[in-house]
């Protein structure tokens, strides 16, 4: 993966201006990608894509999704406020998330957000009571946690997680306690970052079949099946990006084969991941017991994903070098061995003062980090929009947030 030539000059200027680690989002590239997805989607109006804004809630990013006609999935009050501030209409907001209190459910309805994925029987009954007192009728999807043969994923896979209820619990639902709600479908999402369309197809076929049976037993019309996210992006050079045309064919077949009227997804990683880069400087280089190490200005304080998943972001040296690549074990600045960005290939002359560019950082970057530990600068955020470079967030020093 290489930074495109037309971004290089901009990035050089930003490095000089900020002199601190930053994210760089190519919103022109994002817009093109979303327009491509929208035109593919036009083929079938019963397949609807939302954006899961937990992936990247920067207001400028949200506005691109809004302008491209995407609704937004929110999972906290902070996300609701941010999305509303970005001009997204309440009717274009979908609410997911395992931790919805009565207070939060009321806030959703007070904000006119009326599509709610209920992740527990409690959430369902609470929402029903609140809807009755407010005289509104929200649309609801029930989130189901299915059993799989084996396997784990950030979304659980076959592990027991807080997401949704199992089939048995939903079958115990007392319909008399949900009379103020329109239950329009079911939601299942347990597998993340999958690049192989055949694997996605296998997972989704099982979901579509099992949820259709469940809907029948529950006496729910099979209107909407929401498959969440899960479409991967390449983090290694030997991996290939997923073509959404292939995904659309799979989704269309699911609908016709299993009798679901509509299929929804709320995408995070696939929607925005490739359009963000993280730039940081090499502070030190050393050889420890035979291994070459690079120590950087920023690490899991800004991009925590490698520490959580064990998977690195692809990296590039931000200058020309004629040297052959060699392996470096790359660490951030935190006083924990967990601050390990992986063992990656870089030119042999990489050293202090060089800048590195990590790719695929547009999703689960800035807001997923652990920015406060050790009191380094918070990462800045820079956007390219309609050919112009803007800096919505400058680097924040610890003195600005420590008390
Ligand atoms: C309910 C829900 N939907 C969608 C997503 C987005 O997933 P992805 O980034 O795999 O597209 C998430 C991510 O955690 C989620 O929790």
Burial of 182 (0-12, 13-18, 19+ CB in 10 A): middle
Task: Note the pLDDT of residue 156.
Answer: 80
Tokens of 71: 């609704």
Residue nearest atom 3 of ligand 1, based on CA coordinates: 228
Domains detected in the chain: 5-24+274-400 (2.40.37.10), 27-273 (3.20.20.10)
Rounded to an integer, what distance in angstroms lies between the CA atom of residue 263 and that of residue 270? Answer: 17
pLDDT value, residue 327: 98
Q: What is the model's pTM?
A: 0.96
Has residue 1 got a pLDDT over 80?
A: no
Taking each continuous run of H as one helix and of E as one strand, the counts in the chain are 11, 17
Alpha helical stretches, state H, 164-196: 167-171
- pLDDT tens digit sequence for 250-272: 999 999 999 999 999 999 999 99
Nearest-atom number in ligand 1 for the CA of 117 is: 1
Count CB-CB contacts under 10 A for residue 320: 6
* Phi and psi, residue 187, nearest 5°: -130, 130
Q: Is 55 in the pocket of ligand 1 (CB under 6 A)?
A: yes
Q: What is the pLDDT of residue 4?
A: 81
What does the mean pLDDT of the chain come to? Answer: 96
Q: In the block, which residue shows the tokens 């990608």?
A: 33
pLDDT at 149: 86
Ligand 1 pocket: which of 95, 115, 228, 274 to mutate (most atoms <8 Å of CB)? 228
* Lowest mean pLDDT, pick from 2-11, 41-50, 376-385: 2-11
Q: Which residues contact 400 (CB under 8 A, 6 or more apart)?
A: none
Do β-strands 355-358 and 340-347 pair in parallel, antiparallel, or remain unpaired? unpaired
Asked whether the predicted pLDDT for residue 280 surpasses 90, the reply is yes
Structure-token pair, residue 343: 């063992």
Q: How far is CA 87 from CA 60, 90, 114, 315, 398, in A?
A: 11, 9, 17, 35, 31
């Amino acid at each position: 993966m290489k930074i495109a030539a037309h971004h290089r000059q901009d990035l050089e200027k930003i490095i000089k201006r900020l002199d601190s680690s930053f994210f760089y989002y190519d919103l022109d590239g994002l817009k093109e990608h979303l327009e491509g997805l929208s035109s593919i989607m036009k083929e079938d109006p019963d397949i609807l894509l939302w954006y899961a804004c937990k992936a990247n809630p920067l207001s400028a990013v949200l506005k691109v999704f809004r302008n491209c006609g995407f609704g937004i999935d929110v999972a906290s009050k902070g996300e609701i406020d941010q999305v509303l501030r970005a001009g997204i209409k309440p009717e274009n907001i979908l609410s997911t998330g395992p931790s919805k209190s009565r207070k939060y459910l009321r806030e959703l309805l007070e904000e006119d957000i009326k599509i709610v994925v209920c992740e527990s029987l409690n959430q369902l009954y609470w929402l029903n009571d609140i809807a009755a007192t407010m005289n509104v009728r929200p649309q609801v999807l029930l989130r189901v946690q299915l059993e799989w043969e084996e396997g784990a994923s950030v979304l659980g896979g076959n592990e027991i997680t807080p997401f949704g209820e199992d089939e048995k619990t939903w079958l115990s639902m007392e319909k008399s306690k949900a009379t103020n709600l329109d239950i329009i479908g079911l939601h299942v999402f347990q597998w993340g970052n999958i690049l192989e369309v055949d694997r996605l197809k296998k997972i989704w076929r099982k979901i579509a079949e099992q949820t259709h049976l469940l809907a029948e037993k529950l006496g729910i019309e099979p209107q909407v099946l929401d498959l969440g996210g899960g479409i991967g992006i390449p983090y290694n050079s030997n991996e290939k990006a997923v073509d959404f045309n292939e995904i659309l064919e799979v989704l269309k077949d699911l609908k016709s084969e299993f009798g679901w009227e509509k299929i929804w997804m709320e995408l995070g990683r696939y929607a925005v991941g490739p359009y963000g880069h993280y730039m940081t400087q090499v502070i030190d280089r050393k050889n420890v017991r035979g291994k070459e190490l690079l120590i950087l200005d920023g690490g899991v304080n800004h991009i925590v994903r490698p520490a959580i998943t064990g998977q690195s972001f692809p990296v590039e040296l931000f200058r020309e070098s004629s040297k052959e690549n060699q392996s470096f074990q790359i660490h951030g600045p935190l006083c924990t061995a967990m601050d390990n960005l992986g063992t990656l290939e870089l030119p042999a002359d990489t050293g202090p003062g060089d800048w590195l560019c990590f790719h695929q950082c547009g999703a689960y970057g800035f807001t997923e980090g652990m920015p406060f530990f050790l009191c380094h600068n918070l990462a800045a955020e820079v956007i390219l929009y309609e050919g112009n470079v803007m800096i919505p967030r400058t680097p924040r020093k610890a003195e600005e947030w420590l008390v």
